[in-house]
Amino acid sequence: MFNSLSGRLVILTIIFVMLAEVLIFVPSIARFREDYMLNRLERAQIASLALLADDMIDEELEAELLLNAEVFNVVLRRDEVRQLMLASPMPRPIVETFDLRESTAFSLIGDATRRLLQPENEVIRVIGAPVRDAGLLIEITMETAPMRMAMLDYGVRILILSAVISIVTAALLFVAMRALLLKPIKGVVGHMQRYAQAPEDARRIIEPSASVTELYEAEVALRTMQTDLTQALKQKERLAQLGSAVSKISHDLRNILTSAQLFTDRIEMSEDPTVKRMAPKLVGSITRAVHLCESTLAFGKAEEPGPTLTMVALPELIEDALAGERLASAGHDISFAVDVPADMMIRADPEQMYRVLSNLVRNARQALAATGRGGEIALRANDTENAWEIEVSDTGPGLPTKAQTHLFTPFQGGARKGGSGLGLAIAAELVKGHGGRLQLLRTDENGTVFCITLPKGDGTL
């Protein structure tokens, strides 16, 4: 109960009501003390009327009058004459005098507090104005113990009443809040739970119906979020189905094109001038189509496992990636430069990092080959305190503006005619799986520089 909103609301209500009662407790006790002493003054005045009616009363009657008034003596001032009306022996001396005619609220509160904290029975003098202007003043002496007991009894009754009021108020507030707020909130939570079971079902989207303005606004916001999420899930499902279909088509198309590629080998052997002239273009087109199918299949493998990190010798990994590209660059006047420490080790998945380096080097080679004038591809590595940095640069013409805008976006970031843009997208995704990042540092007419950054720690960059 104490962890629920309703339980905490009840407890806070009781605490706040009790706090409010405590704040008025001391003023109430001060008021009770003043009324108590005024009552004794009034009783003493009534007792003194017997003496005014008969100048001579016996001692027993006088003692009875003082006992009923709960005072020791009564002094009445009438016509500027101070007269001792009733008197009896006092058990102890008077320790303090209180004039109720000049008392302020603060002085009454202070005197009441001191009396509650002082248990000793004392004799005090109390001065006040007679009832109905029956004189200039009336003065009595009285004990403090009965007054203190009456004040304590009154205080206990106030505290009990405060507790009852707090409990009743908390119960009423609990019932009201449960009906107006807690029940609608539970309804919203129930809607969210039912929606979570089948978010694709548009029938489970909440319909705002709360009467409380703030809760209604929350329901409207929830409906908007659920609507957007449902549409996004439907679009994701359609894209997944489309991707599955594309993968199947690409797989079958790759097999067909591979067969066609075998036939082009014989076509190239033909002596017909027209065939010789058209064969290279046909071979290039088929090769690009096969490469597109293979890239699409590789990108569509959502089930590809995460990287298996191990310490790998970077120079050997770079040499493996450059071996095939050196063969492919034959006849294009392309050179390769490697500036990597011979003993440099990095933590990476060897197969995935090989694919990343191969993609970057292949893109650089194809960019240089397209210019027809050759150039240089350089790989450099740097071992910093927090990361390993690998740069792949070329002296090509730079990336087109469109390629820079959609650099790592599949099917949009192709840098050459007929390219799919999947190479960089796959490379960036593999590096991200290592907790690192792939960045384009520079691209202009003097060349392009990519940088692979792999973290040494456990976190991502």
- Nearest CA to 311 out of 383, 391, 379, 362 is that of 383
Task: Kindly state whether residues 237 and 361 are assigned to the same domain.
Answer: no
Handedness of CA 57, 62, 63, 68 (dihedral sign): positive
pLDDT at 244: 64
Regions of the chain short of the pLDDT cut 70: 1-6, 50-58, 79-80, 133-135, 238-271, 275-305, 410-422, 458-461
Domain assignment present for residue 282? The answer is yes
Domain assignment present for residue 191? The answer is no
Which DSSP string do the residues of 382-439 spell out, in sequence order?
EE-SSEEEEEEEE-S----HHHHHTTTSTTT---STT--SHHHHHHHHHHHHTT-EEE
Domain assignment present for residue 193? The answer is no
Domain assignment present for residue 204? The answer is no
By DSSP bridging, strand 387-394 and strand 375-383 are: antiparallel
Q: Which residue has the tokens 């036939």?
A: 263
Task: Kindly state whether residues 232 and 260 are assigned to the same domain.
Answer: yes
Task: Show the tokens assigned to 143.
Answer: 């004990």
pLDDT at 292: 61
Query: Where does residue 434 rank: exposed (0-12), middle (13-18), buried (19+ CB within 10 A)?
Result: buried
Domain assignment present for residue 262? The answer is yes
Domain assignment present for residue 99? The answer is yes
Return the CA Rg of the chain: 49
| Separation of alpha carbons 390 and 396, rounded Å | 19
- The boundaries of the domain holding residue 11 are 5-168
Task: Kindly state whether residues 392 and 288 are assigned to the same domain.
Answer: no
Task: Kindly state whether residues 278 and 312 are assigned to the same domain.
Answer: no
pLDDT at 158: 84
Boundary (domain end) residue, out of 133, 168, 203: 168
pLDDT at 395: 92
Task: Kindly state whether residues 123 and 9 are assigned to the same domain.
Answer: yes
Task: Kindly state whether residues 276 and 329 are assigned to the same domain.
Answer: no
Task: Kindly state whether residues 22 and 161 are assigned to the same domain.
Answer: yes
* Number of domain units in the chain: 3
| Separation of alpha carbons 68 and 70, rounded Å | 5
Helix (H, G, I), strand (E, B) or coil at 84: strand
Domain with residue 387: its CATH number is: 3.30.565.10
Task: Kindly state whether residues 324 and 245 are assigned to the same domain.
Answer: no
Task: Kindly state whether residues 321 and 418 are assigned to the same domain.
Answer: yes
pLDDT at 83: 78
The whole-model pTM stands at 0.44
Task: Kindly state whether residues 231 and 360 are assigned to the same domain.
Answer: no
pLDDT at 24: 78
By DSSP bridging, strand 447-455 and strand 437-444 are: antiparallel
pLDDT at 393: 95
Domain assignment present for residue 199? The answer is no
Domain assignment present for residue 28? The answer is yes
Residues 15-56 pLDDT 10s:
877 777 777 788 888 999 999 999 988 888 887 776 665 555
Task: Kindly state whether residues 373 and 429 are assigned to the same domain.
Answer: yes
CB 334 within 8 A of CB 375: yes
Task: Kindly state whether residues 390 and 253 are assigned to the same domain.
Answer: no
